[in-house]
A and B are shown apart, each in its own frame.
Chain A
Amino acid sequence: MERKRELVSFLPVLLLTAVGFASVYAARSSQIGAGSLGYGALFLGIFVAIHIVLRLAAPHADPLLMPITGLLAAIGIMMIYRIDPALAAAQATWLLVGVGLFAAIIFFLRDYRKLDDYIYLLGLAGVFLLVVTAVAGYDPNNSGVRLWLKIGGMSIQPGEFSKILLTIFLAGYLHSKRELLSTSTWHLAGLPMPPAKHLGPLLTVWGMSFIMLLIMNDLGPSLLLFGIFLAMIYVATNRLSYPGMGLVLMAGAGLFAYFTKAVVHLRVDVWLNPWTDIQGKGYQLAQSLFAIGDGGLFGTGLGKGYLLTASGRPLIPALQTDFIFSAIAEELGLAGASALIVLFLLLCYRGFKIAILAEDGFSKLLAAGIAAGFGLQTFFILGGVMKLIPLTGITLPFVSYGGSSIVANFASLALLVLISNRTNSARPLPSASEGAA
């Protein structure tokens, strides 16, 4: 039943993908060749492959996850293709690797709950990746942000993988400690507060995020990690005091960073007023706003926006990664860009729903952590490029160009698929409750 719904949902996605690539081709046929229309065929292949994998190994998995993420990835590669066809080829390769890892996890990690036995190992691995990046990381485009690691000629962003490992660790850890962490001994402004000795985990993760911020010089990954942690500890304990205290701690760290870290200071100043140094520090955000504003209600049309200069270089630095949403907003307008936001909300909705339906605490926490991660990451980067919040350099899940991001997000997705498959298989009438929750 779930797979039939999935197949039906794939059809409009495929249609949209085909129409999208065709319109990019039509608008820019003088610059790009017809051979690249093969991306449509590639997507068809990927969708069929994913569908078969799920039929074989996770037949009861949530039927909307793959159509949603498939559409996101299609929009992403279409936009990347429009910006630079050569980058789209690389992105297609990464998509294949991501789907490969996805299939491998579905096949070999069917009993994902075994991960609960190795959480300390996984947590250590996650921290290790961060430490390695902090020590040996480099900064390829001199943005002042050290997030990259070079392994055998390939650049990867270990932060993306460490995010998953730490989410799994937190799911296991918080699940086992939730009783203890939920106790409250005193009240502050009506909120039940945990005893001071149980603040250890909160302070540890806060400290870690803070050190990450100081060493890697970037707000994005450390804010995201801390945000995921706050969401998960809230789910585990049902105590608002944790996210409350967390936000206070985060504000403190943020203030400290604002006054001591040039990168953070700059990001905040540019956010407050990108116009004072529009040709220098404010250039990127100003150009992003120009692009978004130019989109208007219905956009310029695919391939017709002013994204590239006469020499073919993107007008906005990091257009295909952090600023891909600005390109989408210009060419698809408020109509298309808000549809994309709704798509992300739908992804979060499925994630949280999987968490609610899941039968054991570990699965609930893991699914909620992954869903919260998708939501926060989307909020941070979209809020940044449209001047809602200061810019933090992170990718838009499934849409932005970048191998690490794509592969890591497909791995997270595989975990959500496995959790929902397990829940639905265990229930006697898996499809009956589908519309209820």
Chain B
Amino acid sequence: MNGPIRRLFYATIALFAALMGMLAYQQVVNAGPLADNPYNTRKVYAQMSIDRGLMLASDRTELARNREEDGLFYRVYPQGDIASQLLGYNDVKYGQSGLEHSLNDYLTGTADEVELANFFDTLSGKQQRGDNVKLTLDPKVQRTALSDLEKLGKRGAVVALDARTGAVLAMASTPTYDLNNLEADWNQLNRDQNGPLLNRVTQGLYTPGSSFKLVTTAAALESGAFNPDSKFNDEKGTINIGGNVIHNWRDQPFGEHTFAEAFAQSINTTFAQVGEKVGQDRLVEYQQKFGLYERPPLELPPDEVAVSGRYVNGSLASPGDSLDPVQVAWMAIGQEKVQVTPLQMAMIAQAIGNGGVMMKPYVVDSILDRDSTVIKKTAPGEWKRPIRDDTARTMTDMMIKVVNEGTGQGARSGKVQIAGKTGTAEVGGGKGPNAWFVGFAPAGNPQVAVAVVVEDADERGHDSSPIAHDVLLSALGM
């Protein structure tokens, strides 16, 4: 029996060698990724003895500060639920999210560019302190956005960007939650079907509906085949493409009209034809020019910024996938499988309002040390140039018509000319549509771009235009 016993021992050695191998893998090779996992609270715990930096709004309103207890620092959010998904949490039990996660190195003073100075502080026995972060967020605009959404009592998202720089002025997502009660509310927040922890501006993927006609129109104008005065005739209110029927809202026929009128009244039958004529290749090319299929370079953790594009079975499809004619027509009116984030739509409006130059969106204005000396300031940067300046001007005129005479009259203001495009995206399942308003103001000299989406909205999509109106006026100080 000694032979098999010996071989049994060799087998034991093999099993234990596998244990050793896996142990070495987890403790050496995989140690970094494990330490960086946002749910690993060790780092947060170790950093609780650091006087974490403040987060300040653009007017220096304190958005996050600390409460000290027995030498440990706990986060306090004086503004409660105002921008919870953006700021994120920093919790010893549940880890980090949002800016608390992505800006952690600055907030703890462990970023490369500031570490040396803090290292000497540690040597000289001073309390280790992080640096303050000043955001571009304007609390007044943020409050307007949030309270408008909350008045509706619906799920939704609002984002406002500085049209010239790409700076985030407001980023609101409902329902929201109070960051100060995170531990007590954690289970309920995770169970809540309405997903309060979700940042709908950057993580919410929505069917764009007619708001996507902005992209289709840009492709159509620059193809040279269409201009705002191009003539169309719509007798029936429906159109047959490849055996499939595309409808106008309530099958309303519009008769003879121009391309600009089709844009203002959001005529599906016309845009289906335009899409068919422009073709899949050019449509997709312009989607990519506007930044779809790419992650917008915002300072949030990458997994909190979704990529817009065509989604099939929950994952991003390749832009090169070939589509049927009817799918192309549906895509032109924003009803195919294209899914976009409100941030993406606001960036499209920003680019149109900025003469065709899309800026990198950003929310961190500057990093300040404790003496308020600026250590690092974000310089606005160009991200893409999706369209020509003259195309942008033509589109602005078309967008003015939407607000003055078309589907976007709910956003119309006597004080400032607003330009925009609405969208009413059918979602099915017995729910109301997603109502969009994407636009900017003042139309003659765009300063603020905005995207609003309201879920389960009333049938004609009147919920989002008034919010866009309020947020634009608030951002313009009117």
Q: Tell me whether B27 and A348 are in contact (CB under 8 A).
A: no
- Picked from A231, A306, A333, A341, the residue with its CB within 8 Å of the CB of B19 is A341
Which of A32-40, A118-126, A130-138, A286-294 lies on the face that meets chain B? Answer: A286-294
A235-B1, A289-B26, A361-B1 known; A296 vs B12 contact (CB < 8 Å): no
- Chain B, interface SS category: helix
One of A286, A306, A310 near B39 (C-beta < 8 A) = A286
Q: Does A355 contact B (CB under 8 A)?
A: yes
How far apart are B332's CB and chain A's nearest CB, in angstroms?
36
Q: Which chain B positions have C-beta within 8 A of A371?
A: 8-9, 12
Contacting pair A379 B27 (CB below 8 A): no
Whether the Cβ atoms of A348 and B9 lie closer than 8 Å is yes
Interface size counted on chain B using CB atoms at 8 A: 38
B23 CB contacts on chain A under 8 angstroms: 292, 329, 334, 337-338, 341, 382, 386
Q: What residues on B are CB-neighbors of A356 within 8 Å?
A: 2, 5-6
Q: Is B27 a contact of A297 with CB atoms below 8 Å?
A: yes
Instruction: Chain A residues near B42: list those with CB within 8 A.
Output: 290, 294, 306
User: In the complex, A272→B459 CA distance in Å?
Assistant: 45
In the complex, A368 has a CB within 8 A of chain B: yes
B92 and A310 contacting across the interface, CB-CB below 8 Å: yes
In the complex, chain A residues whose CB is within 8 Å of the CB of B92: 309-310
The SS class assigned to the A binding surface is: helix
Q: With an 8 A cutoff between CB atoms, is B93 at the interface? A: yes
Q: Does B30 contact A (CB under 8 A)?
A: yes
| A365 touches B (CB below 8 Å) | yes
Q: Which of B73-126 contact A (CB under 8 A)?
A: 92-94
B476 at the interface (CB under 8 A from A): no
- Find chain B residues with CB under 8 A from A383 CB: 18-19, 22
| Interface membership of B152, Cβ < 8 A | no
Report Cα–Cα, A389/B19, bound state, in Å. Answer: 10
Q: How many residues of A contact B (CB 8 A)?
A: 49
Contact with A along B28-39 (1 / 0, CB 8 A): 101101110101
Q: How far is the CA of A348 from the CA of B16 in the complex (A)?
A: 11
- A306–B35 alpha-carbon span in the complex (Å): 12
Task: Check B254 for interface membership: any CB of A closer than 8 A.
Answer: no
Verify if A81 is at the interface (C-beta below 8 Å from B): no
Within 8 A of B (CB), among A205-250: 231, 234-236, 238
Beyond A290-B40, A375-B15, 6 additional contacts (C-beta under 8 Å) are A235-B1, A293-B33, A345-B13, A352-B12, A364-B1, A375-B16
A residues engaging B (CB < 8 A)?
231, 234-236, 238, 275, 278-279, 286, 289-290, 292-297, 306, 309-310, 315, 329, 333-334, 337-338, 341, 344-345, 348-349, 352, 355-356, 361, 364-365, 368, 371-372, 375-376, 378-379, 382-383, 386-388
- 9 pairs of A and B residues whose beta carbons are closest in the complex: A293-B34, A352-B9, A388-B22, A375-B12, A290-B40, A334-B27, A293-B31, A379-B15, A235-B4
